[in-house]
């Protein structure tokens, strides 16, 4: 990608917006999951689906409260369409390559995050669709792209891509990897899409582009997993 061909990166949060986005990452990635696990598994107050939907609903409300002005400044969906299409096509190629790598290393294994989602989908597919397609993308994009990528982009473009991709990928696998270290390998499945989400954000100067891209990826992936499960 030719750096000189890129428009100036102007999509930056204010200091307060950035602090609020970054501060929520440990809450969303660690504290809330632990609380929801206790409420669902040990206290028995809710099922796993309700706990996960509640977790993302809290994050969604948090982002609306503290990042609403940033989202309003960024709203320009039409400008994002071509980048979303291009990003998705690139993602398909990257996913094919990572699938070949995983197949060679772990021919009988499967991504535990996908398995967890489909297990919850058996309980209530409607709420899982609402969570993965509409609640998760805004929360995660404001944390990882607008928060981490946006904060580092002015200082180092390489660091912005590398750190945001690594943290996003770790976020999706760390819980499963603590149970079984072999699951760390699934980080490679999330790095390409994380890089492409950041690319989409950078090239359009709008966080909405990565939000809509993320929504598209999750919607199609969930549908594919659902169809695959029916075949099996």
The pLDDT assigned to 232 comes to 58
Distance between CA atoms of residues 145 and 180, nearest Å: 28
The pLDDT assigned to 1 comes to 43
The pLDDT assigned to 83 comes to 84
Phi first, then psi: what are they for 154, rounded to 5°? -65, -35
Distance between CA atoms of residues 121 and 49, nearest Å: 8
What are the tokens at 156? 């180092």
The pLDDT assigned to 200 comes to 93
**3-state secondary structure (DSSP) of residue 150:** helix
Please check whether residue 87 is in contact with residue 196, taking contact to mean a CB–CB distance below 8 angstroms: yes
Distance between CA atoms of residues 149 and 204, nearest Å: 14
The pLDDT assigned to 158 comes to 96
pLDDT at 2 over 70: no
pLDDT at 72 over 90: no
**How many angstroms from the chain centroid is the CA of residue 105?**
25
Per the prediction, the chain carries an average pLDDT of 89
In tens, the pLDDT along 16-69 reads 999 999 999 999 999 999 999 999 988 889 999 999 999 999 999 999 999 999
Please check whether residue 207 is in contact with residue 142, taking contact to mean a CB–CB distance below 8 angstroms: yes
Q: Averaged over 77-96, what is the pLDDT?
A: 83
Helices (H) and strands (E) in the chain, counts: 11, 0
pLDDT at 159 over 90: yes
**3-state secondary structure (DSSP) of residue 10:** coil
The pLDDT assigned to 222 comes to 87
pLDDT at 3 over 60: no
């Amino acid at each position: 990608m030719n750096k000189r061909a890129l428009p100036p990166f102007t999509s930056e949060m204010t200091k307060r917006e950035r602090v609020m986005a970054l501060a929520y990452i440990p809450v969303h990635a660690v504290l809330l999951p632990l609380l929801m696990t206790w409420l669902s598994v040990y206290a028995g107050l809710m099922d796993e689906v309700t706990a996960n939907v509640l977790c993302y609903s809290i994050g969604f409300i948090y982002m609306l409260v503290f990042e609403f002005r940033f989202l309003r400044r960024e709203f320009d969906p039409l400008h994002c369409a071509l980048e979303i299409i291009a990003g998705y096509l690139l993602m398909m190629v990257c996913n094919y390559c990572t699938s070949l790598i995983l197949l060679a290393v772990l021919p009988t294994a499967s991504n535990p995050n996908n398995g967890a989602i489909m297990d919850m989908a058996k309980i209530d597919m409607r709420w899982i669709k609402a969570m993965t397609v509409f609640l998760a993308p805004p929360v995660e994009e404001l944390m990882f792209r607008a928060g981490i990528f946006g904060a580092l982009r002015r200082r180092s473009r390489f660091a912005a891509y590398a750190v945001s991709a690594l943290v996003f990928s770790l976020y999706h696998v760390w819980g499963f990897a603590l149970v079984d270290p072999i699951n760390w390998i699934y980080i490679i499945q999330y790095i390409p899409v994380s890089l492409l989400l950041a690319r989409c954000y950078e090239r359009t100067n709008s966080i909405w582009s990565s939000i809509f891209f993320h929504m598209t990826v999750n919607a199609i992936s969930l549908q594919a997993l659902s169809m695959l499960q029916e075949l099996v």
